[in-house]
Amino acid sequence: MATSLTKKGLIAASDKVIVAARPALEIISQFTTDFSDEAVKPGTGIAVDVLSASAETFDKDSANYGHATNTIKNFLVATDIRKKSTFALDDLDCIEDETAHCWNKFGGASGRAVAVELVKSVTGKLTRTARDAAITLAGSTLADFLALAAYIEGTAKIDPSTCVLLLEPSTHKLLCSLLTASVVGDGGVIRGVAIGQALGFKAIYSAPTIVRDSAADSDGKGKGFIVPENALAIVNRVVKPLKGAVGDLVEYGEFTDEISGITLTERVVVDGKRGEAYWTTEGLFGSKLTKLNTDGNATGAPGYYQIVVS
């Protein structure tokens, strides 16, 4: 974990934050494309270019070097999800002590709280109304789950090894019951890749935040989504404090998870009159489906598919 924090207590706490957040961040990184480095400045939206290419037979009159076959289209991904998690402390001295009991509790709790909001902001874009098509899960056998990959490869013409399968928890547990223990493992997030590869996908994860309606609101027949790795764009920026006079701010830093590339920030402010310190973990995010641009026109990027039961 890369960090710009200085006080040893905060560094220890940020380690706990990112460890707690990592499972959610790793899942998101499996099926999204991160365009954070393309931002003009922190807090702004990002104009993302979507390239679509095709090939043609050369003809010196009609299909020569001056005839374009490819397109470049763009859309804006707004950083519109800003979430923070704050604890109030009674003693500022605990910031200097990485062994203080509070860090064992605060770091993990704040990390999970912010990471969950990131997951919701991404999976919330997956709905029945915006799907490319619905794929029926015909039964509860391993062959029925393998048929999902066959559909993606044969009908949708997409390589399933570039797709992530997100299943609501009970359906995910059903699939796990059909696989050997050597594939499922101990339930750690990294096993999502192993389970996915067993069925031909990039990864398969339990996704409790996805919608479960398929044909009508709350019908409960939606069981998950198949998401190509470039179907969603995410944006992650940082919220920096004002330069110059910083008031009661006593510490600010940024820490980045090496696995997902996601950056969260951490700051501590004090209220001298009350003898209190407020420790905050914060994230600024945005996500958008890449298939359509701002005007609703196709960009050439892939869509996604919903899994339903009859």
pLDDT score, position 106: 73
Residue stretches of the chain with pLDDT short of 70: 1-13, 16, 18-26, 33-52, 73-74, 92-104, 107, 182, 185-191, 244-247, 259-260
Strands 46-52 vs 263-271: parallel, antiparallel or unpaired = unpaired
pLDDT score, position 230: 81
pLDDT score, position 6: 64
Asked if 233 and 290 count as a contact pair (C-beta separation under 8 A), the reply is: yes
Strands 32-34 vs 232-237: parallel, antiparallel or unpaired = parallel
What is the C-alpha separation between 308 and 222, in angstroms, rounded?
Answer: 5
pLDDT score, position 23: 65
CB atoms within 10 A of CB 35: 19
Arithmetic mean of pLDDT over the chain: 80
Asked if 290 and 231 count as a contact pair (C-beta separation under 8 A), the reply is: yes
> Quick one: tokens of 252?
């600010």
Closest alpha carbon to 221 in 175, 179, 170: 170
pLDDT score, position 1: 47
Q: What is the pTM of this model?
A: 0.75
pLDDT score, position 189: 45
Cβ-count burial of 186 within 10 angstroms (0-12 exposed, 13-18 middle, 19+ buried)?
Answer: exposed
pLDDT score, position 40: 47
What is the C-alpha separation between 73 and 293, in angstroms, rounded?
Answer: 8
pLDDT score, position 201: 92
